[in-house]
Each structure stands twice: as C-alpha cells, then as structure tokens.
C-alpha cells in the first residue's frame, strides 16, 4: 500500500484531542473497586517495607599520588578528559593503577582478609570477628526464612553433603560453602569506585549497624593503602634488602682485613726484612680495597633507603570514615507509593479491560497508527527511518516488539491519535 492510499484511510479527526469522558465514566462506575484494592495494597506495602531491616552507609574518599612520568603526564591528562586511558606499562609507571582498585577489592584474597577484622555493634561491647558477625548477626526479611525452609528440610531429609574443611581455617584456594556465601555478601556490602578523570577513590560500605559500617570502611581504607604502598615499594624494598646484605658482607670483610693488618703490624714492628714489609703492604692494600667497597656500599645503602621513602605513596583523605547518624534505607515511603501506584494502574487496566474487551488490541493499534502517521508525515526524520529499516528487516514476531518500543517513544503523538482508534469499528464498549 503506497502513502497516497494510506492517507485516505486516516480520518480528518486525527488531530483532534481525545475525549476521556467515556473512560472516566467507566472508572467512576467502578470506583468501589479502588476502595477495596488500595487499602489492601497499602497494608501489603507496609508489611513489605517494615520487614526489610534498616541499613547504613559510610563513604570514604581518597586521592592517591600518581607516579606518571613527565613525558606522558600531559598526554594522560588530556586523554582522561575525553574518557580514554593511556597505557601505563609502556611508559614505565605502575601496572596496577587506580582503575584496577575495584578489581583488587573484588578479589578473593582481599575479601578473605576482612574475615578477621574485630568489630562490635553500636549497642553492644562484645567484640567478634567480621566473619562471625556476617554469619550470625545479620537480620533478614521474614520471607527469606519462609522460602529457604523447604530447601533446608529437603536437604536434611536427603542428607546433604557437609563440608569436611574446618570452618575456622581459611584457605583461599578452597573455600567452604559458608565462607563463599560470606565472601559474596562482603562483595555486595563493600564497593569501590574510581573516577576516571580525577582518580579519586570512593569506598562505600553498607551494613545494618552504623558503627560496623564505619569500622569496616576505615579498615578497608587502611588495607587498600597498605596494599598500594607494598606494591609501589616492593621493588625498592627488595633492592634495599639486597644492598643491606652486601653492605654487611663488605663491612665484615673490611673489619677482618683491618684486624689482620693491625695484628701483623703489631707483631712485626722491629723487623726490617723486605719479605715482612711486602706482606704488610699487601695487607694494607687489601684493607684499603675492602674499605673502598665498604664505603661505596654505605652510600648505596643510603640511596636505597631514600628510594624506598621516595616510592612510598602519599594519600590525601578527602573524606574520612564517620559513624552515620541517619539510615540510608530502605525508603519505605517510596515503596508504599510505588505499591499504591501499581495497584491503581492495575485496577484501572482491569476496569478498562472489562469495559472495553478489545483494549489489548487497541493498544497495539494505537502504537501502529502513531508510527504510521509519523512515517507518512515526517519521512525525513532520522530516528523513525532507523526504526522503519529495523522493522522492514525483522520477521512478524519481532515487529510487534519494534512497534511497542517505538510507540512508547512517541507517546505524546500516540495520545493525539487515540481518537482515531476509538472511532474504529473494532473498538466497541460493552454494555
């Protein structure tokens, strides 16, 4: 069908506004249904919202020192402004940059290292490990226990396999089921984010107890700083240990050579034989060589110690860990409003469906008419043209999906043409 024939199908009332009188009349006639549904939805929403335990969030922000070379610092800064990262390995800088800190905190080794952190609740002085707190002190909604009860009962009947590994011993290579569950829970509670432009590290810890949230945020911050410091200074510390080792060996050789020379000189003070003088000269030269090596290694040792201090990164704490006063969630008022809105929307759809039996078909016709008018009257629009090309390349089953998405995109124009659909013969209200 060509566009000229399609234009003849569209009535002149396509630009007229929709008349909601009939719809409002159908809704008003069944208003008692709202009086029943909305209170029930409100009660269910309150039960659902009050069953979710409160949780608190503590945020820590750090600004690490970046070890970029002078030649590549300007290029990296320019690239970061446009959201691109410049390779660091080729430029001789750290391979583990701030972009990899979230992956580091998601590693099993880092999460397992948090198991033994001592914590205590705000309303208690009993100290326990973070692992015990996560395993025994966490509150959960009532439906969690209800849904898990059949599986626990089934496992007890069938005799589920038990872990043969000691729960008190942590082996990162082979975690138990309980340890894996705790590690996954920690992964959700402890989140690290890095701003690609400013390289500011943000650590967010969420927990049901405000004091434990602040304690864990401070502990995670310290452990992350320790890891970065150990990584940045690892090579310098290895060089320092090697330099100190050969320094001690050179010092021992120098002391031994000096003692031999002093002993030989004291024992042969009155002897003028040429052989004795020659040996004394050799001992003196050997002592001087050992002293030169010892002096050079002493300077290298001081330089290695300075190198360790130079490689030690400095962190600027933009926001330290503090005990949160107000809860972060759940947002119960918002939950109740969403429940009420969905109940109102569902009730309205049900009323219109019972009033107009072809309302489901009507929705699709509205979307299709909307796109039809859009393509015919605005053929030069880019987005409709793309959707039309996709539509023409898909099969019939996928066309409904394209029509529904496009109809929602152009919702305003769709509403303007509902009057055209309502006046068609397939839209017949029930008596």
More confident call, 92 vs 249: 249
- pLDDT band of residue 394 (cuts 50, 70, 90) is very low
Query: Looking at per-residue confidence, does 134 or 380 come out higher?
Result: 134
CB within 8 Å of 249: residues ≥ 6 apart: none
Q: What six digits make up the tokens of 95?
A: 């391979």
pLDDT of residue 392: 46
Q: Taking all residues of the chain, what is their mean pLDDT, rounded to a whole number?
A: 75
For residue 297, which of 257, 239, 237 has the smallest C-alpha distance? 239
Report the chain's terminal Cα–Cα distance, integer Å.
36
Please list the alpha-helical segments (H only) found in 268-379. 274-311, 332-355, 359-377
Tell me which DSSP letter residue 122 carries.
T
pLDDT band at 27 (very low <50, low <70, confident <90, very high): confident
Burial (CB < 10 A; 0-12, 13-18, 19+), residue 137, is middle
Calpha distance 62→313 (Å, rounded): 12
Runs of H (alpha helix) within 30-112: 31-51, 70-81, 101-105, 108-112
Q: Between the CA of residue 281 and those of 88, 196, 348, 409, 422, what are the distances in Å?
A: 55, 67, 111, 98, 119
**Which tens digit of pLDDT belongs to each residue from 170-195?**
788 888 888 898 999 999 999 998 88
Residue 20, number of CB atoms within 10 A of its CB: 10
Question: Over 50: is that where the pLDDT of 385 sits?
Answer: no
Residue 369, token pair as written in the block: 């008419």
Digit-coded pLDDT (tens) for 262-302: 888 888 877 777 788 888 888 889 999 999 999 999 999 99
Stretch 329-348: mean pLDDT = 90
d(CA 140, CA 427): 49
């Amino acid at each position: 069908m060509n566009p000229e024939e399609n234009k003849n199908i569209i009535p002149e009332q396509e630009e007229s506004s929709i008349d909601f009188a009939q719809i409002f009349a159908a809704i008003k006639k069944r208003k008692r249904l709202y009086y029943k549904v909305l209170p029930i939805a409100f009660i269910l929403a309150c039960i659902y919202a009050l069953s979710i335990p409160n949780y608190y969030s503590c945020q820590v922000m750090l600004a690490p020192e970046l070890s970029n070379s002078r030649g590549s610092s300007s290029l990296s800064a320019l690239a970061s402004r446009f959201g691109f990262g410049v390779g660091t390995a080729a430029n001789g800088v750290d391979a583990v940059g701030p972009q990899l800190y979230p992956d580091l905190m998601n590693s099993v080794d880092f999460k397992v290292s948090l198991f033994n952190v001592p914590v205590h609740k705000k309303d208690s002085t009993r100290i326990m490990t973070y692992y015990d707190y996560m395993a025994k002190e966490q509150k959960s909604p009532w439906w969690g226990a209800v849904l898990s009860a059949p599986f626990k009962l089934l496992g007890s009947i069938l005799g589920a396999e038990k872990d043969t590994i000691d729960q008190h011993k942590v082996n990162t290579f082979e975690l138990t089921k309980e340890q894996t569950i705790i590690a996954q829970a920690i992964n959700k509670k402890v989140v690290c984010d890095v701003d690609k432009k400013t390289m500011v590290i943000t650590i967010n810890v969420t927990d049901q107890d405000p004091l434990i949230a602040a304690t864990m945020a401070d502990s995670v911050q310290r452990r992350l700083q320790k890891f970065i410091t150990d990584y940045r200074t690892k090579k310098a510390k290895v060089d320092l240990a090697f330099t100190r080792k050969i320094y001690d060996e050179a010092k021992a050789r120098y002391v031994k050579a000096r003692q031999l020379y002093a002993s030989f000189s004291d024992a042969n003070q009155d002897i003028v034989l040429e052989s004795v003088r020659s040996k004394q000269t050799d001992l003196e030269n050997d002592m001087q060589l050992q002293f030169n090596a010892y002096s050079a290694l002493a300077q290298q040792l001081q330089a290695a110690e300075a190198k360790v201090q130079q490689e030690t990164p400095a962190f600027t704490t933009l926001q330290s860990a503090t005990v949160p006063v107000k809860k972060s969630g759940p947002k119960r008022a918002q939950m109740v409003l969403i429940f009420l809105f969905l109940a109102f929307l569902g009730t309205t759809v049900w009323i219109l469906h019972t009033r107009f039996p072809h309302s489901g078909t009507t929705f699709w016709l509205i979307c299709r008419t909307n796109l039809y008018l859009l393509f015919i009257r605005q053929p030069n629009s880019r987005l409709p043209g793309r959707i039309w090309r996709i539509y023409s390349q898909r099969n019939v089953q996928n066309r409904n999906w394209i029509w529904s998405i496009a109809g929602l995109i152009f919702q305003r124009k769709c509403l303007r043409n509902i009057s055209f659909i309502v006046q068609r013969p397939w839209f017949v209200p029930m008596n």
